């Protein structure tokens, strides 16, 4: 059945009514805390930093220049929003369409809706508190007592599970990650009996993500939402190192019913370190996929000017609606799929 057919919309009516209530509740939550809602350009010079993401590319026809200008649909509004933090905006949020090419699954659309929010003069612990308050506010607005996905539930009003990455590896994978940091051979030896697929050319980061995806993530967010924090620094391109242990970075992810819902950082503000990480990530992207994105020099210049200590997060609105309605396919809560 075509997406625009009246029967198709009727089948989705309840889900879409919940979606409308949910988005309204999200806006109310941040508006009541004095956040400014912002709108930043979707077309960007550098659409993101993650080497494994793929962007949609276009060419701008500029009659005042001799050549075309390449732009990308953003994979996140992060760089543009951080420029606003440098300009002095203290608390900002944005609900926007975001674009990631080559993505498609029951939990992924190449075009989806995201909320990002940032607090200047705050850290990632403040963002954790926001997540607790937001998911509780949304549940009340949607008149639900728990989030649902497949056979799992999560009660946002119960005490949340908050684990460091090392604690999660110990609890769910059965070994201590800390002595294995940056030691690919030792990590490979440790996980050889975990019944997960590995490849000879897997890097340390690849092995880490295989354990996370196959062994740990399915346990997260069951019964109550889970926050897992302090990732190895190699896996946090835009977050700052933990001051007490720079082997780790101030990054956390939010899971509900085994589904990753949000990715947060204590934001990196050092322009030299940020440039170095960008260059390393784009070199890896070129090695793996044969392309690299130009660096956002305006963003790096803004860091030179001085960005305050900040915390921020990207959270998937579509996935939050899935959890509020209990549906198993993202297309069932999208307006035009």
Residue-wise pLDDT for 155-181, tens only, equals 999 999 999 999 999 999 999 999 999
Looking at the chain, the whole-number percentage of residues with pLDDT higher than 90 is: 81
How confident is the model over 206-231, as a mean pLDDT? 96
Q: What is the pLDDT of residue 119?
A: 98
The answer, yes or no, to whether residue 142 has pLDDT greater than 80, is yes
Both structure tokens of 319: 């996935």
Q: What is the pLDDT of residue 3?
A: 56
Q: What is the pLDDT of residue 5?
A: 66
pLDDT band at 238 (very low <50, low <70, confident <90, very high): confident
pLDDT band at 35 (very low <50, low <70, confident <90, very high): very high
Per-residue pLDDT tens over the stretch 263-272: 999 999 999 9
The answer, yes or no, to whether residue 20 has pLDDT greater than 80, is yes
d(CA 182, CA 263): 23
Q: What is the pLDDT of residue 154?
A: 98
The answer, yes or no, to whether residue 105 has pLDDT greater than 90, is no
How confident is the model over 10-28, as a mean pLDDT? 92
Q: What is the pLDDT of residue 7?
A: 67
Higher pLDDT, 67 or 257: 257
- CA 46 centroid distance within chain: 17
Closest CA to 29 of 39, 37, 18: 37
Q: What is the pLDDT of residue 2?
A: 60
Q: What is the pTM of this model?
A: 0.93
d(CA 315, CA 163): 19
How confident is the model over 67-93, as a mean pLDDT? 94
Higher pLDDT, 274 or 106: 274
The answer, yes or no, to whether residue 1 has pLDDT greater than 60, is no
The answer, yes or no, to whether residue 289 has pLDDT greater than 60, is yes
Q: What is the pLDDT of residue 85?
A: 97
- In the predicted model, what is the mean pLDDT of the chain? 93
The answer, yes or no, to whether residue 214 has pLDDT greater than 70, is yes
Looking at the chain, the whole-number percentage of residues with pLDDT higher than 70 is: 94
The answer, yes or no, to whether residue 329 has pLDDT greater than 70, is yes
Q: What phi and psi, each to the nearest 5 degrees, are found at residue 274?
A: -65, -45
């Amino acid at each position: 059945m075509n997406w625009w057919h009246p029967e198709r919309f009727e089948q989705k009516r309840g889900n879409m009514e919940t979606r409308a209530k949910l988005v309204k509740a999200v806006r109310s939550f941040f508006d009541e805390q004095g956040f400014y809602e912002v709108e930043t350009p979707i077309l960007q010079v550098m659409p993101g930093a993650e080497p494994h993401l793929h962007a949609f590319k276009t060419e701008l026809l500029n009659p005042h220049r001799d050549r075309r200008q390449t732009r990308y649909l953003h994979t996140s509004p992060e760089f543009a929003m951080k420029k606003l933090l440098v300009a002095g905006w203290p608390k900002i949020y944005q609900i926007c369409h975001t674009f990631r090419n080559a993505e498609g699954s029951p939990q992924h659309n190449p075009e989806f809706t995201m909320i990002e929010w940032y607090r200047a003069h705050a850290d990632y612990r403040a963002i954790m508190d926001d997540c607790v308050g937001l998911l509780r506010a949304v549940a009340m607005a949607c008149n639900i007592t728990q989030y649902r996905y497949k056979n799992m539930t999560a009660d946002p009003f119960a005490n949340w599970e908050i684990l460091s990455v090392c604690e999660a590896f110990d609890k769910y994978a059965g070994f201590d990650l800390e002595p294995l940091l940056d030691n690919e051979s030792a990590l490979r030896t440790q996980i050889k009996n975990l019944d997960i697929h590995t490849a000879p050319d897997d890097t340390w980061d690849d092995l880490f993500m295989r354990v996370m995806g196959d062994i740990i993530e399915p346990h997260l967010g069951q019964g109550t939402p889970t926050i897992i924090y302090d990732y190895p620094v190699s896996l946090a391109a835009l977050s700052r190192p933990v001051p007490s242990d720079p082997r780790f970075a101030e990054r956390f992810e939010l899971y509900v019913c085994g589904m990753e819902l949000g990715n947060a950082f204590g934001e990196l503000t050092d322009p030299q370190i940020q440039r170095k990480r960008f260059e390393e990530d784009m070199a890896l992207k070129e090695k793996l996929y044969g392309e690299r994105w130009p660096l956002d020099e305006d963003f790096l210049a803004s860091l030179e000017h001085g960005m305050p200590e900040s915390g921020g997060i990207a959270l998937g609105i579509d996935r939050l609606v899935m959890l509020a309605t209990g549906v198993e396919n993202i297309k069932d809560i999208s307006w035009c799929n």
